[in-house]
Chain A
Amino acid sequence: MSEQNKPEILKMELEALSQNEEFARVAVAVFMARLDPTLEEVEDVKTAVSEAVTNAVIHGYQGKGGIIYIEVTVEGQELTVSIRDTGIGITDIKQAMEPMFTTDPDGVRSGMGFSFMEAFMDQVEVKSEPDKGTAVIMKKKISR
């Protein structure tokens, strides 16, 4: 454990493959262990990370692959997770974040990804530009 004020940072670049979804959420979970989180807090973050990474794989890169940039920062008791892709971007962020909204034609996607991120994190910010990519920045205060 380091001193309170100095942020600790984890940076990862992952290929946008579905098999990396598990790696991403587990890596973030291991990194956040230094905050001494409860099991439920770890599960919350794992779920939110899984949702954002899955969105990058399926929507950002349309299943065609690319690089997902993950940055995790721990500052005091606050965890910040940024998940960014350089894929197709979102034209209507508000609509994309509506519960149950999905562009999936096969009827297997629930459209609950952003709702879960918002439910499990304290703060979720989405920045996106068509053809440039999407960044999801999520924050959560870890109790101790």
Chain B
Amino acid sequence: MNQPHFTYEAEGHTLIVHLPEELDHHNCSGLKYETDLILSENYIRRIIFDFSRTRFMDSSGIGILLNRYKQMALSGGSVAIYGAGSQALRILKMGGILKLMKLYDSKEAAVTG
């Protein structure tokens, strides 16, 4: 039906997480474990979530984003977002995420910061 897995891309101290089409409880299950692993083995100062493939998200997506935000905030890092469509954007706003993470139009803009 869709590609449920996350793909990861590192650029220097920045980790880009390409999110799946459907960001729900089912598809979120691996994200905490996988990013914990990456963060423990690499010096990451910034996480960027790529929403450009995401067509649906619910409060499970908010939960995992808040969790990752807290993790980065503890180590003085930052979290950003790009590529969010209308449905994801509404959920991100309602979940208070846009107060915590900066929203960019493109990957390049998000990486530059």
Q: Interface of A with B (CB < 8 Å)? A: 18-19, 21-22, 25, 40, 43, 46-47, 50-51, 54, 57-58, 104, 106-113, 115-116, 119
Contacts and interface: CB of A to CB of B under 8 A. Distances in A.
Contacts of A19: 26
Chain B, interface SS category:
helix
Contacts, number: 68
Most buried by A among B24, B56, B87, B91: B24
A18 B29 contact: yes
A18 B67 CA distance: 20
A47 B25 CA distance: 12
B91 A47 contact: yes
Contact of A113 (B1, B29, B32, B59): B59
B62 A112 contact: yes
B26 A109 contact: no
Given A57-B25, A58-B25, A107 B70 contact: yes
Query: Which 5 pairs from chain A and chain B are nearest by CB?
Result: A110-B63, A18-B26, A112-B59, A110-B62, A50-B58
B64 A22 contact: no
Interface in B74-104: 86-87, 90-91, 94-95
B94 A108 contact: no
B39 interface: no
A54 B1 contact: no
